[in-house]
Amino acid sequence: MSTSAPARVLVTEKLADRGLEVLAAAGCQVDVQLDLSAEALLEAVVGAHGLVVRSATEVTDEVLAAGTDLVVVGRAGIGLDNVDVEAATRRGVMVVNAPESNILSAAEHAVGLMLALARNIPQAHAALVAGRWERSKWEGVELHGKTLGVVGLGRIGALVAQRAQAFGMRLCAYDPYVAPERARTMGVELMALDELVAQADFLTIHLPKTAETRGLVGRDLLAKARAGLRIVNAARGGIVDEDALADALESGQVAGAALDVFAVEPPTGSPLLARRDVVVTPHLGASTAEAQDKAGVTIAEQVVLALAGEFVPFAVNVAAAEVSETVKPFLGLAEVLGRSFACLHDTLPSRVEIEYQGALSSSNVSILTLAVLKGLFAAGTEEPVSYVNAPQLAAERGLEVREISTATSRDFVNLVTVRSERHSVAGTLAGANDEPRFVMVDDHDVEVPPAEHMLVVRNDDRPGMIGVVGQALGDAGVSISSMAVGPSRTASTALMVLSTATSTPDDVLVRLRGTDGILAVHRVGS
- 3-state SS track over 411-469: CCCEEEEEECCCCEEEEEEECCCCEEEEEEECCEEEEECCCCCEEEEEEECCCCHHHHH
Q: Please tell me the distance from the alpha carbon of residue 104 to that of residue 292, in angstroms, as a whole number.
A: 12
Q: Is 290 a catalytic residue?
A: no
The pLDDT, as a whole number, for residue 417 is 94
What is the CA angle 503-504-508, rounded to 5? 165
| Domain 323-441, CATH | 3.30.1330.90
- 62, burial (CB in 10 Å: exposed 0-12, middle 13-18, buried 19+): middle
The pLDDT, as a whole number, for residue 379 is 63
Q: Please tell me the distance from the alpha carbon of residue 508 to that of residue 505, in angstroms, as a whole number.
A: 5
**Annotated catalytic residue within 49, 75, 206, 283:** 283
Q: Please tell me the distance from the alpha carbon of residue 416 to that of residue 426, in angstroms, as a whole number.
A: 5
Q: What's the pLDDT tens digit per position in 182-210?
A: 888 899 999 999 999 999 999 999 988 87
The pLDDT, as a whole number, for residue 2 is 45
> Which H or E element spans position 497?
strand 493-500
What is the CA angle 413-417-420, rounded to 5? 165
- DSSP E strand boundaries for 76-153: 94-97, 147-151
The neighbouring-strand residues paired with 190 are: 173
Contacts of 325 (CB under 8 A, 6+ apart): none
What radius of gyration do the chain's Cα atoms show?
25
Give the orientation angle of helix 103-119 with respect to helix 155-166, to 10 degrees: 40
Q: What are phi and psi of 161, to 5 degrees?
A: -60, -40
Q: Is 265 a catalytic residue?
A: yes
- Decide if 8-101+290-321 and 103-278 have a common fold: yes
Q: Please tell me the distance from the alpha carbon of residue 81 to that of residue 102, in angstroms, as a whole number.
A: 17
Task: Give 403's DSSP letter.
Answer: E
Q: Please tell me the distance from the alpha carbon of residue 419 to that of residue 423, in angstroms, as a whole number.
A: 6
Q: Please tell me the distance from the alpha carbon of residue 108 to that of residue 122, in angstroms, as a whole number.
A: 17
Hey, is 68 helix, strand or coil? coil
Query: Are 76 and 23 contacting, i.e. CB atoms less than 8 angstroms apart?
Result: no
Average per-residue pLDDT in the chain? Answer: 90
> Which H or E element spans position 259?
strand 254-259
Q: Is 283 a catalytic residue?
A: yes
Confidence (pTM): 0.72
| Bond into 450 cis (ω within 30) | no
The parts of the chain modelled with pLDDT lower than 50 are 2-3, 320
Choose among 515, 510, 243, 179: nearest CA to 376: 179
Question: Measured in whole angstroms, how far is the alpha carbon of residue 127 from the centre of its chain?
Answer: 40
Q: Please tell me the distance from the alpha carbon of residue 498 to that of residue 476, in angstroms, as a whole number.
A: 15
Out of 3.40.35.10, 3.90.190.20, 3.40.50.720, 3.80.10.10, select the CATH number for domain 8-101+290-321: 3.40.50.720
Q: Please tell me the distance from the alpha carbon of residue 473 to that of residue 475, in angstroms, as a whole number.
A: 5
What fold does the segment set 444-526 form as a domain?
Answer: Alpha-Beta Plaits (3.30.70)
Domain ranges of the chain: 8-101+290-321, 103-278, 323-441, 444-526
Q: Please tell me the distance from the alpha carbon of residue 191 to that of residue 197, in angstroms, as a whole number.
A: 10
**Annotated catalytic residue within 54, 236, 444, 523:** 236
Question: Measured in whole angstroms, how far is the alpha carbon of residue 408 from the centre of its chain?
Answer: 35
Q: Please tell me the distance from the alpha carbon of residue 98 to that of residue 55, in angstroms, as a whole number.
A: 12
Choose among 16, 83, 500: nearest CA to 291: 16
Query: Are 451 and 526 contacting, i.e. CB atoms less than 8 angstroms apart?
Result: yes
What is the CATH class of 103-278?
alpha beta
Hey, is 522 helix, strand or coil? strand
Contacts of 35 (CB under 8 A, 6+ apart): none
Q: Please tell me the distance from the alpha carbon of residue 244 to that of residue 365, in angstroms, as a whole number.
A: 46
Q: Please tell me the distance from the alpha carbon of residue 316 to that of residue 322, in angstroms, as a whole number.
A: 14
The pLDDT, as a whole number, for residue 260 is 96
> Which H or E element spans position 230?
strand 229-233
Q: What's the pLDDT tens digit per position in 224-269?
A: 999 999 999 999 999 999 999 999 999 999 999 999 999 998 998 8
